[in-house]
A and B are shown apart, each in its own frame.
Chain A
Amino acid sequence: MQKILEKIQLDAWIAALGEWEILAPAMEDGIWGYHPLDGAVRLDHSNTTQPPKGLSFPQREVFFSFEQIKGEPPRLTQKMPAATRRAVFGVRPCDGAGAVRMDKVFSDHVADPYYQNRRKNLAYVGLACNKPQGSNCFCLSVGGSPVATEGMDVLMTDLGDRYFVTAVTETGKALMSAAAKVFTAPTAADKKLVEKTHADAVAQPQRAVNDVDAAPAKLKASFDSPLWEELARACIGCGVCTFLCPTCHCFDINDESTGSSPIKGNRVRTWDNCQFPDFTMHTSGHNPRESLGARLRQRVSHKFQYFPENFGMPQCTGCGRCISECSVGIDIINTVNKVTGHVG
């Protein structure tokens, strides 16, 4: 389904989606993020500081609450997330690609009900990037595209005073059908213009990871490379790169006590981070990823070796957040290129 939406009709479309909670990009506290809609939607955002990942994989998820009254069996109450249908407007193609990778992690090998319950109620209305959002965009070199529909339910392309709107999934069709009369059929000229817009978008210069297909084997051969420590020399070991990543998904599970008499609390999943000192800490005190170089290798190899080995695609989608937001210049493009460049 392909339609034209005049920009002034965007709010009318959203108004027709009464059954959906709408999230849209907004600049709050000096940063772009996806927030519940407040007023009119404006899709003039550069990419958000945080990807929409947290909507399906929140930083904190309560699995169940527990209570132990003396002499009675422990009482467990599962906490399944509420089934609110949410539509997110303005998602960039790198983050759509991120959602595909997250889906694989939480669906392919193990079905995670918490993730899936949120995800199945989540629709992404994407916005193609007519030009790169920042100087560190590199989606093209990791198998993506600034106009990709991967992971989207709908993809919109900005054509100046109107959007070219393509339904990608059945959910996308339903979203568009909910307000059929705000859309018009595209003319041949519209179709030609969107093709040209997409071709121009793909032709925009971007930074690039060299030969991503060869990366898994080359990284495997570089496990003991001294380059890792060298490239991580300035790393401060914070969690910015992974917490802002659209595909990092490591987590930790803890019991958080809320009372001791009777014993009660919650079993909680929180994001974890391979850059933290206790990430792979063993109970013995041994830490196989003790140094910053080993942790950089873990992050980069997961994106460009382990994930491709497991799922047949790079995990990195080229959004560039880990580069732009790193305070000390750790650069995943430079890292991959330098390390793999040393392998024949």
Chain B
Amino acid sequence: MINIQDMRDTARDLLAKNEVRAVIGYRRGSSGMNAEPVVITDAAQADELVWDPTCFHNLALYLVEDRKFLAHTRAKPGLPIAIVAKGCDARAIVVLMQEHYFKREEVYIIGMSCEGTGVLDERKLASQGIQASNAAFDGDDYVFTTAQGEKRIAAREVMADRCLECRIPYPREHNVVLGEDKTGRVLAEPFAALKRFEERDAAERWIYWERQFDRCIRCFACRSVCPMCFCDECVVDSISFPVTAQTTAEEKANRVRWIERSAVRSENITYHMTRAMHLAGRCVDCNECERVCPVNIPLRLLNNKMEREAREQFGYEPGASIGAPALVASFLDNDPEKFIR
């Protein structure tokens, strides 16, 4: 089991010895039970760092933000930046490196094994009627602090589906790693939720998705939280249409808008389908998009579908190796389709 102090000591040493310019990690939030992302730059802040079942966030997002900030301010990165990363987070970092978003030596990965557990699903916890002010790992259990005292639950009862189905709960890519590698553990069959869903017939699935997408309020939390959604301009925004004194009203009116701002079925579906396609072979199933959705749209089903297609059609595992080409930047000599050869 991981000793939180080891993580803090690692972060403190890295900052104190000036080996990194910052550490991206987790700390206690100011409201409720959940941890929140934090970027620390001072060794004295290392004791703020926490590691518990509410460390849901895929912090790779902040590597992307950091890179954008550096590009925007035309600053040199200088020292590497350190990041606390679970197995899925580390795979996301690898995907970003495969796509040359940053270089390996620019990132120092403090890997955290999920060992026999994973992160909490808050909705599962709520459905058990538990309101907690704190959550902690203890072996294969979670221990919650509630108004009625300490409550211990087997983690798998309230763990996120994606963690139950996770095949590699260990950050293979790391500079330092804490916790045991329990790759090979089986808590649930991979793609189990997707498989259950696919048993419904097409008409039923369509009705289901219409209902899901009709609910979307287009807050874009799914996009904003995704480390793979790093485009400078997203298809749903129009921020780079150049308007000059010479731009005519007609040109402004006729600028291409792929997706209207109205949160209606046609636009919502186009948005979510566009995102799902852009994540094929890139999504590492951190499932932050589904967690942050305020209206419970089951986005994991879409992303899992694309992940499984890539896996079954091309044997592709996103985030497996920095040296491997990206899915859409590679082809197989034995590709069954003729057009590729």
Contact = CB atoms under 8 A, between A and B. Distances in A.
A312 to B, nearest CB: 28
Interface in B235-264: 237-239, 242-243, 247, 253, 260-264
Interface residues of A, number: 42
Contacts of A29: 211-212, 215, 295-296
B38 interface: yes
A329 interface: yes
- Name which of A276, A327, A333 has the most chain B CB atoms within 10 A of its CB: A327
A259 interface: no
Nearest to A334: B30
Interface in A57-73: 59-60
Interface string B280-307: 0000000010011011100000000000
Contacts of B288: 327
Contact of B263 (A60, A244, A276): A60
Given A234-B37, A236-B61, A270 B224 contact: no
Contacts of B57: 327-328
A135 B132 CA distance: 10
A211 interface: no
Query: At the interface, is chain B mostly helix, strand, loop or mixed?
Result: loop
B29 A331 contact: yes
B224 A236 contact: yes
Nearest to A231: B30
A273 B237 CA distance: 12
Contact of A238 (B32, B34, B224, B239): B224
Interface in A294-330: 323-325, 327-329
A60 B292 contact: no
Nearest to A260: B254
Interface in A273-290: 273, 276-278, 281, 283-285
Given A29-B215, A244-B294, A329-B36, A252 B224 contact: no
Contacts of A283: 243, 247
Contacts of B292: 236, 238, 240, 327
Contact of B262 (A234, A243, A270, A277): A270
Contacts of B296: 29-31
B118 to A, nearest CB: 17
B15 to A, nearest CB: 16
A328 B37 CA distance: 6
Contacts of A277: 237, 239
Contact of A60 (B211, B243, B264): B264
A207 interface: yes
Contacts of B36: 234, 328-329
Given A244-B294, A270-B263, A329-B31, A239 B220 contact: yes
A31 to B, nearest CB: 6
A322 to B, nearest CB: 10
A273 B39 CA distance: 26
A81 interface: no
Contacts of A234: 36-39, 62
Contact of A324 (B32, B62, B242): B32
A238 B225 contact: yes
Nearest to B37: A234
B221 interface: yes
Interface in B168-218: 211-212, 215, 217-218
A285 B37 CA distance: 30
Nearest to B234: A277
A255 B294 contact: no
A237 interface: yes
Contact of A254 (B30, B62, B260): B260
Interface of B: 29-32, 34-39, 57, 61-62, 123, 131, 211-212, 215, 217-221, 223-225, 237-239, 242-243, 247, 253, 260-264, 288, 291-292, 294-296
19 contacts: A59-B263, A60-B262, A135-B31, A207-B31, A234-B62, A239-B217, A240-B219, A244-B219, A268-B260, A268-B261, A270-B262, A276-B237, A324-B31, A325-B294, A327-B288, A327-B292, A328-B225, A331-B31, A334-B31
4 nearest CB pairs, A to B: A329-B36, A283-B243, A329-B29, A238-B221
Given A234-B62, A240-B221, A240-B294, 20 more contacts: A29-B212, A30-B123, A49-B294, A49-B295, A135-B131, A207-B31, A236-B225, A239-B221, A240-B292, A243-B219, A278-B238, A278-B239, A283-B247, A323-B31, A327-B291, A328-B57, A328-B225, A329-B30, A331-B29, A333-B31
